[in-house]
Structure 1
Amino acid sequence: MTASAREFQKGIRAGSSPYLVLELRRAHLVEEAFEQITKKHADLKKPLKVAFVDVGEEGMDQGGVTKEFFQIMVEKVFDSQFGLFKELEEGRCWWFEGVLDGSSHVELSKKEVRIRLIEYELVGILVGLALYNGVILGVRFPSVVYRKLLGWEIGLDSFIESFPALGHGLEQMLTWSDGDVYDVFMREFEISYEHLGQITTIPLVPDGQDIAVTNENREAYVQAYVDHYVHEHIQQEFVAFQRGFEKICGGEALKLLRPEELELLLCGNSDLDMHDLEASSLYDDGYSPNHTLIKEFWEIVHEDMTPEQHKQLLVFVTGSDRVPIRGLKDLMFVIQRNGPDSERLPTALTCFSRLLLPEYADKQKMKERLVTAIENSTGFGLV
């Protein structure tokens, strides 16, 4: 079959498919995902199916591979080296890397600006796809992002919640009563941003560098500071991100949510109650809740594993360490017997949230084998 015939056949299959299918190579995941999302714009509101096609993982995606896809995409796209977002030490959140408003020494050509905004839009689509397909993302934004997506106002209280150090400094300036604030804070109507180790200071109002912040005008200064930081500084980037997000999740239904509810839908519950997981787990091929090995398995989980290892176990079996909104009791988790005692490591079918556990001869051996598997789990599972 010629290349053109193969492309024609592939196009026919895609057009008649009830799914949005992404066929990706792990080595080129981000660029291929963004390229296919762009080409398959008409299919974005179909249920998502993902296949990794370069490492012998072809097969059926029952949800686990899709979770892994989002997890890997988040790790790559939200890495500071990708250049779109920066990690805030306070709250371990990701915030927009604003460089398009003149507050950075970095100069971009019109083509580079256009590409950058397309990338923000594609990230917005990615976040929207996760929400649309019910996949919990392992990424956190400051709460003001959810307020902006819903069109809510942002005051000092929500600014403090998102950026505590900056916010409390502004609050202290507003409540200062021991003389004039300029004598203590020495501020003008300016704002400073740091990018790649260099600081740029720009005025908040015309000739702001010559206007001192006093008791009389400090409220106007705080309002201007907050507006610039959460709106003007990242306006182009956020508009592109929101445009992508709303291509998937726009509409009146979104406006019914509160910011904290939208955050919960995207980020899930961060509390890992492994007892809930035990209570809801299912068993197969000879295992049961009363089987000696299963009892020892849960003793290892509850007594010997660290919280980080709990997350690794969830990633190993389900493809994600994020918890459904109502907790681990809503998570599918199946432990299946995988033959008699052996030296093999446990394996997992992430697409079915199924742990394949050999019937090890003793508890210590199971612990060693299990920990080794979950701490080296990248790429495990079946598509």
Structure 2
Amino acid sequence: MHAAWDDTVGAVLGHLAERGFGRDLRLVYAGRQLASKTVLAELCLPPDSTLHLLSRLRSTPYPDAWQLASYIVSIASIARSDPLNSAAVSGLDDLVKEFILCAHRANQRQRHDRDSPIDAQAMGDQAAHYLEIFHEAGVPFALVGLYAAYPHSTIHFYAGNAIKCFLTMDPSALPPDVLPVTAPLLLEFCGMLSLSVGKEDELYRSCRSMLASVLCLPSGLPASLKLKSPSKLIEQVLPFAEEIVDAVMYELASLEMTVSSKNLEDLSNFFKVLRQQALCWVPNGGPLPKNLYNSERDSWVWKLHDISMNLLNRVDECLKKLEMDLSLSSESRGVNVSQSRWVARSHMLVVLTQLDFISMIYEDLAHNLRLVLLAHIDPLNALVRFSKRNEHLHWLVKHKDLLCFEARRNLVMMMLAEGKDEYGELHEMLIDRAHLLDESFGYIMQAKSSELHSGLFMEFKNEEATGPGVLREWFFVVCQALFNPQQVLFSPCPSDRKRFFLNGTSAVDPLHLKYFIFSGRIIGLALMHRVQVGITLDNTLVLPLAGRSIKLEDIRQADPVLYKSCKDILKMDAAVVDGLELTFSRDVHELGSRRTIELCSGGKDLRVNIRNREHYIDLLIKNTFVDSISVQLTHFARGFSDILVDPELRKVFFDFLGPEDLDRMLGGRSNTINLEDWKLHTQYNGYKEKDRNIIWFWKAVEGMSIEQQRDLLFFWTSVKFLPPDGFGGLASKLYIYKASESADRLPSSHTCFYRLCLPAYPSLKVTKNQLQKIAQEHVSCSFGTW
């Protein structure tokens, strides 16, 4: 080392201590200890003098750790002074692994020594002490020094391998109880590697990436870092995060705008820990006043804001390019042709997600993020529509007004289980049509939610047909039976008999609560399997599922009489309202008896007047459609939540959906079928489009009523109500195969493959007659082959 003449002995010792040579150091010359305050010039040392560095040994409860750490340092020192002796360091990695194993064993002993259970943080106490010794003994300094001293050499390779012992998530190499407490050590490695070998070194980048991963472990920050203030920790981590942001911005500036998965992962991890610590520091959880981070240009507050704004500006530029690309694609080939390219750009959503996380701290960042999304609605929707499963996109619920139906649908479908393709993992059901609802109830209710997440395999007793077509049919007929008013579970809206709300008198059935769980599961499964069952849920059912209150306009379809009465009360003069002699209560008739329910405490004695009538109507609606059926609603919600990948996502699921979105996903298209769209999505085998049999077929279909067309479609595909995007939303094209049967035979179908086998009928009249026979509801069900 080099020192100035005016340096003191104490300054030299302090420098050595900072470089990992330990504490309580002393310098000795000619057997005499040099005083700490003495200036080097006063010592008058002759040239080439030898000074001895001594350190006092203190008692320690971890002698084995100190001994092993000192041995590693000595091996590294020998190799550094004698680079030709590479054999001395060939086992450095084994020594480091042995040290890690010792830390793990110490944790195990601690666990066995304690009678009561201890948490994960306490379990890492011993490992943390061991790694602190690893640091204080100067091992990181010795290993990095050896790694940097002889690049591209065998010694360089061995030293790198020793450091890499801490750069793995493999439990066999770095036990789970040791891994979380490596963060301080990784910070040390990153700092020294950055200074000694530079930021382009591969080992440094790996160390930086590992630091980001460890800091974001579920077990949280190790105690040694938690003791520091959030501000101090952010100051330590921010430089590494800034490097990752620069790398991501550089990649986004490329022609393809691609970002490596590793950089995306590191960006997410660093931003996560920065956000967590910043929110601990921000008063009242944020956001920060703008003047605070604009005035302190040298603080981490301003730097984090600055790099986040720069990243947002770069994303804005990328979205502009994507918008141009989208415009060109739609003009030339169509958006669907470029779907794979949009999937490849899904990393844009990852970056936007991280910026949203940081926007919780900075109000103007949140504002600018909104402006960027607003300016680029089309590419935003394309990215979301074609995005693969990503559980971190729930923040987009704040911007759902910018998202099209297809984008919102994709986001909620990510919250439902994917299902399995393997036959052995599907939940199998064998149903007797004569006992359809009872047996379906048994199969679904006996299954664990995890079993239902795998998917369903369905067949009817004494029928050969199996496969997706039969499953679609089962969903349809079960829902028709389940929502039949005779089951007293759901009531249809008077103006729309396919729209349902909960029946407050369902308690007449002793199993009604279990059937509400069953109903919730069925609805969730139908959505999961993308089956339109032809029924929709009224707002009075959907809004409570989303945790939202029901307003007067929401009951218009469920109870038009109550709706009109409430509207009339709001229009009345004060004298007329007083004349009604209403109180904050309502009468309920149940099983032939009548009882009065108070809408609030003392409601029977509280008169409704012009000043409190709006409050009265709010309480009346809440009691009628929420409070009085809260138990039924809770069980329905529980069943639906069973189908979500995370039951806690139920509110977010329904928050994403607009008033008509769930109708389209569950009920399908309820209007007329577009015959031209039907023809466009139909292909032929054995026939040609201009053959007379095909022309007769479409003429016969054109002459059918809408219900007959639906029954024919159901016979053909087991789909009675089309997806929101029409025939194009089906799993495949439809097919008409030329059948070899005689003209007296009816058509047959293979519903799984959307295949209709049509005999060559001799005339239009025969074609109409044969199609009319199968276009009947009692025939179209269960008539397909498979």
Q: Under a length normalisation based on structure 1, what TM-score does the superposition of the two structures give?
A: 0.84
1:328 and 1:339 map into 2 onto residues whose CA distance is 27
2:577 and 2:598 map into 1 onto residues whose CA distance is 19
Q: Is the 8 A contact 2:493 2:557 kept in 1?
A: no
The letter for the 2-side match of 1:73 is V
> 2:701 aligns to what?
301
> 2:189 aligns to what?
none
Q: Is the 8 A contact 1:143 1:260 kept in 2?
A: no
Deviations 1:158-191 (A, max 9, x none): 23355443223212211323743233x5533333
> 2:622 aligns to what?
227
Q: Is the 8 A contact 1:150 1:259 kept in 2?
A: no
> 1:5 aligns to what?
none
The letter for the 1-side match of 2:525 is L
Which of 235, 257, 263 pairs up with 2:663?
263
Residues 1:335 and 2:730 are matched in the alignment: no
Deviations 1:61-80 (A, max 9, x none): 0x211111011111211112
> 1:153 aligns to what?
549
> 1:315 aligns to what?
714
Q: Is the 8 A contact 1:280 1:330 kept in 2?
A: no
> 2:538 aligns to what?
142
Residues 1:360 and 2:761 are matched in the alignment: yes
Q: Cα offset for 1:95?
A: 1.9
> 2:443 aligns to what?
36
> 2:346 aligns to what?
none
Matches within 5 A, 1:157-196: 157-160=553-556, 162-177=558-573, 179-183=575-579, 185=580, 187-193=582-588
Q: Which sections of structure 2, spanning at least 5 residues, go unmatched?
A: 1-421
1:32 and 1:186 map into 2 onto residues whose CA distance is 51
1:274 and 1:251 map into 2 onto residues whose CA distance is 42
2:621 and 2:525 map into 1 onto residues whose CA distance is 30
2:477 and 2:596 map into 1 onto residues whose CA distance is 36
Q: Cα offset for 1:340?
A: 5.5
1:74 and 1:201 map into 2 onto residues whose CA distance is 35
1:190 and 1:270 map into 2 onto residues whose CA distance is 39
In structure 2, the CA distance between the partners of 1:120 and 1:45, relative to structure 1 (3 Å rule), is same
SS in 2 for 1:356: strand
The letter for the 2-side match of 1:17 is G
> 1:89 aligns to what?
494
In structure 2, the CA distance between the partners of 1:56 and 1:155, relative to structure 1 (3 Å rule), is closer
Deviations 1:275-303 (A, max 9, x none): 2111111212x11221111112112222x
The letter for the 2-side match of 1:35 is G
Residues 1:76 and 2:76 are matched in the alignment: no
Q: Cα offset for 1:199?
A: 6.5
Q: Cα offset for 1:196?
A: 6.9
Q: Cα offset for 1:230?
A: 1.6
Q: Cα offset for 1:138?
A: 1.7
Q: Cα offset for 1:202?
A: 3.3
The letter for the 2-side match of 1:365 is V
In structure 2, the CA distance between the partners of 1:88 and 1:298, relative to structure 1 (3 Å rule), is same
**Greater share of helix:** 2
Deviations 1:199-221 (A, max 9, x none): 66533234544543221221121
2:520 and 2:434 map into 1 onto residues whose CA distance is 22
> 2:342 aligns to what?
none
Which of 420, 424, 427 pairs up with 1:20?
427
Deviations 1:5-37 (A, max 9, x none): xxxxxxxxxx98232222222222222222222
In structure 2, the CA distance between the partners of 1:289 and 1:151, relative to structure 1 (3 Å rule), is farther
Report the more deviating stretch, 163-172 or 272-281. Answer: 163-172
In structure 2, the CA distance between the partners of 1:314 and 1:165, relative to structure 1 (3 Å rule), is farther
Q: Is the 8 A contact 2:668 2:721 kept in 1?
A: yes
Sequence identity percentage? 28
Matches within 5 A, 1:88-107: 88-92=493-497, 93-99=499-505
The letter for the 2-side match of 1:239 is T
In structure 2, the CA distance between the partners of 1:182 and 1:171, relative to structure 1 (3 Å rule), is same
Q: Is the 8 A contact 1:48 1:133 kept in 2?
A: no
Deviations 1:117-164 (A, max 9, x none): 111101111111111111112212212322222223322222335544
SS in 2 for 1:191: strand
In structure 2, the CA distance between the partners of 1:321 and 1:215, relative to structure 1 (3 Å rule), is same
SS in 2 for 1:55: coil
> 2:785 aligns to what?
382
Q: How many residues align?
A: 353
In structure 2, the CA distance between the partners of 1:377 and 1:195, relative to structure 1 (3 Å rule), is farther
Q: Cα offset for 1:328?
A: 2.5
The letter for the 1-side match of 2:692 is T
> 1:292 aligns to what?
692
SS in 2 for 1:180: helix
1:199 and 1:351 map into 2 onto residues whose CA distance is 52
1:275 and 1:139 map into 2 onto residues whose CA distance is 25
2:582 and 2:516 map into 1 onto residues whose CA distance is 33
Q: Cα offset for 1:270?
A: 1.5
Indicate the structure (1 or 2) with the bigger Cα radius of gyration: 2
Matches within 5 A, 1:51-66: 51-52=459-460, 54-57=461-464, 59-61=465-467, 63-66=468-471
